[in-house]
Amino acid sequence: MAGTKDRIMAASAELFRRNGYTGTGLKQIVTAANAPFGSLYHFFPGGKEQLGEEVIRTSGLMYIELFDIFFTPDTDLVSGIEAAFAGAAVTLRETDFADACPIATVALEVASTNEQLRKATADVFTAWTVAGTAKLSDFGLGEAAARTLTLTIVTSLEGAFILSRSLRDTEPLAVAGAACAAVARNLLAEAARGNPGD
């Protein structure tokens, strides 16, 4: 069984993903974690803000693993992109459009109001960009082209999550995935012509 701190972190990540940072109360968190209220301040003496930052940084780094899952040596780049967006659509449908990206959910709320949490989300997005650029470079793209494609994928996915949750329809994810696949095909074609995007 997970320790108390791990349960608090996991419960917080799920609640932030579903309800946002400001929409999640500390009592909700300890109840969902089956933890004593005092344990939250024991592990997170800075309160909700410290908890929020740790959840953002920890869960954000876990999402980097998706690059290794969808972009393997056995998969071509376009198929990996299509699978990533299709997988996101499945997750939304299976959770009744409740589970999307906790980082983007929090970032939308705190970008102008909480510098500590804004910095945490910015650091996560930067880490995603660096990891994605390195991974997509393995498919024959130059660094600049791989970075462009990584940013295209991340921004398209996050925007599609917002529309899909609002509309309760996965069409935006399908459209965004197709658009990213088209960008990838164009960048791969340029690389093949000797213009790798550097």
pLDDT one-digit tens code per residue, 56-76: 999 888 889 999 999 998 999
Do both 39 and 77 map to the same domain? no
Q: How high does pLDDT run on average in the chain?
A: 92
DSSP string, 17-82: HHH-STT--HHHHHHHHT--HHHHHHH-TTHHHHHHHHHHHHHHHHHTHHHHHHS-TTS-HHHHHH
Do both 101 and 181 map to the same domain? yes
Do both 176 and 98 map to the same domain? yes
Asked whether residue 58 is domain-assigned, the answer is: no
Do both 49 and 29 map to the same domain? yes
Q: How many domains does the chain have?
A: 2
Range of the domain at 179: 64-192
pLDDT of residue 40 exceeding 50: yes
Q: Comparing C-alpha atoms, which of 89, 191, 103 is closest to residue 149? A: 191
Do both 133 and 72 map to the same domain? yes
Do both 33 and 69 map to the same domain? no
pLDDT band at residue 129, thresholds of 50, 70 and 90? very high
- What single letter denotes the amino acid at residue 46? G
Do both 126 and 70 map to the same domain? yes
Q: What is the pLDDT of residue 2?
A: 66
Q: What is the pLDDT of residue 1?
A: 47
Confirm if 173 and 85 have CB atoms less than 8 A apart.
yes
State the pTM of this model: 0.88
Asked whether residue 197 is domain-assigned, the answer is: no
Do both 127 and 153 map to the same domain? yes
- In whole angstroms, give the CA distance from residue 103 to residue 124: 8
Q: What is the pLDDT of residue 154?
A: 95
Do both 39 and 79 map to the same domain? no
Tell me, what CATH number does 8's domain have?
A: 1.10.10.60
Tell me, what CATH number does 101's domain have?
A: 1.10.357.10
Do both 123 and 38 map to the same domain? no
pLDDT one-digit tens code per residue, 19-29: 889 889 999 99
